[in-house]
Amino acid sequence: MPIARHLSLITLDGVKDLIERKVVFSCRYELVEVTGDGKPRYQCIYSVGDEELILVATKVQKHGPEVRKFAIWPGLVNHHNAYGDGKPVSIDLDVSKLDGDAVLGGSSGGQGRVH
C-alpha cells in the first residue's frame, strides 16, 4: 500500500522543534497496512515547503529508523491533536474501497481525503 518514493526523516522531537519555531507545515496520514483483524494503520507525512518528511521513532533500531505507524484511535487522533497542522481530519472508515493511495489529512475547508 505505501507509495514508493524517497522521503526525509523526522522524529517527534523534530516536529516539536517545527512547532516551537512556528514553521508552517502540513501533515497527512497514509494507509500502510491493514492488520490481521482488519484494522488500518497509517504513517504520518509532514510537508515543510517542498520537502516531505516521514515520521520515524526517535530510537533507531538495529536495522535503522522505524516508521511510526498509527491506528486511528487513539493513536492517529491523539497524535494529530498534539502534533498536527491544526486542521481537522475527516476519516472514511471504509477501507474496502482503498486502492493503495489512501491519504488522510487536513486540507483547506477542513476535509480530509481518502482515495
Digit-coded pLDDT (tens) for 1-43: 445 567 899 999 999 999 999 999 999 998 888 888 888 899 9
Q: Positive or negative CA dihedral for 60, 61, 67, 73?
A: negative
Nearest-angstrom CA–CA distance, 65 and 57: 7
CA atoms within 13 A on the CB side of 60: 6
Nearest-angstrom CA–CA distance, 71 and 103: 14
Taking the CA atoms of residue 46, residue 110, residue 42 and residue 67 in that order, the dihedral angle to the nearest 10 degrees is: 10
Q: What is the pLDDT of residue 24?
A: 96
Does 112 have pLDDT greater than 70?
Answer: no
Cα separation values, 115 from 81, 100, 102, 103, Å = 23, 8, 5, 7
Q: What is the pLDDT of residue 107?
A: 39
Digit-coded pLDDT (tens) for 75-108: 899 999 999 998 988 776 665 655 544 555 543 3
Q: What is the pLDDT of residue 4?
A: 56
Question: Three cell numbers at 19?
Answer: 512547532
pTM over 0.85: no
